[in-house]
Structure formats: structure tokens, C-alpha cells
Chain A
Amino acid sequence: MAADPNKLGIFVTSPQHMRHILGIAKAAVRADKKVMVFFTFKSIHLTKNPLFYELSQLCAVEDIAICADSYICEGFDNVNDVPRGLIDKQMRTQAFHGAILDECAKYIVM
């Protein structure tokens, strides 16, 4: 699949930049761009930030996911405690990051 020139991938690896992530995603949507986001390792704690739900509503279901292994490693229950704004099929593997690299013409790490 060729990368979509109007799609921005955001790879979230830090647990402390929710304000920037949401700010960038909102600005991208204002500019008629699509946003695809993956949260991994300790950044999955951002799913407990109230701003996370707002972010989840800016993305198509297939365009936002978190690393299920990271979520479990950090002690959360991936069955009974799916983050607000997500459904179980958005608990994914690192392959989702690979999909971001393939599908998004632009990319930023947060």
C-alpha cells in the first residue's frame, strides 16, 4: 500500500506529552489530514489521562491503538479495563506501528 500523503502517523513512546499529542492531532484534523496513533510501553499510561478520550474521538477506529502487551506489562487488565474511547480490537501489537510507517506519508514521535 502506498503511503497516504494526507495522513500523519504519531508514535507515542513517552508518558508525558498528552497536551502536545492532542494539540497536533487537532491541528491535523483542522488541516483536513487524517491521524493514525499508536501508544507503546509506558506511554499507555496516557490512556488514563482525560484528554485521551478526546483524542480517540478524532481518529477512525482503525487508526488508533495501544500496545496490549505494554498495557498488561504495566499491570492493567486488557479485558476488563479497556481504556475509555477504545474497544478491544484496538488493543494491538507492534505490527500496528509497522502499519503507521507504511500508511502515513508524515510521521512524528511523541
Chain B
Amino acid sequence: MKILQVYKSEPTEDVKKLVEILNRDRVADEFKLYIGEPNYDILVQKIFANDKTVCWW
């Protein structure tokens, strides 16, 4: 299972805890949409390279 965590804003402590549990024993990647000008081509590549994407607030 490969999982991608996407963040639209700085993750809260609750979000960090949930991500830690979701990522446990899995291949995990992340993408921060809230920093600078996002490279959407890379984001789409990552979405299609992972089994599941969670996009947090």
C-alpha cells in the first residue's frame, strides 16, 4: 500500500497524529499545497503513483 498525504494548510497536531497512524508500515509520500506555487504536474504524478490519496484541510 502506497499512500500520499496532501496538505492544503499547515497540518494540526490531530492531523499529524492521524497521518502517523495511516502511514505506519506503508510507503508514504506527501505534497504541500500551501507552500509557494505548487507544481501540479508533480502532484498528479504522485496521485497516480500512489494507491490512495488523503488531502487534508
Contact = CB atoms under 8 A, between A and B. Distances in A.
The reply, when asked whether chain A contacts chain B directly with Cβ atoms under 8 A, is: yes
Interface of A: 8, 14, 17, 20, 23-24, 26-28, 30-31, 33, 106-110
B8 interface: yes
A33 B44 contact: yes
B53 A24 contact: no
Interface stretch (B13-21, B22-30, B35-43): B35-43
Interface of B: 6, 8, 33, 38, 40-41, 43-45, 47-48, 53-55, 57
Given A14-B8, A26-B40, A33-B44, 9 more contacts: A20-B33, A20-B38, A23-B40, A28-B44, A107-B53, A108-B47, A109-B54, A109-B55, A110-B55
A51 to B, nearest CB: 13
A24 B57 CA distance: 16
Contact of A106 (B8, B33, B53, B54): B53
Contacts of A14: 8, 57
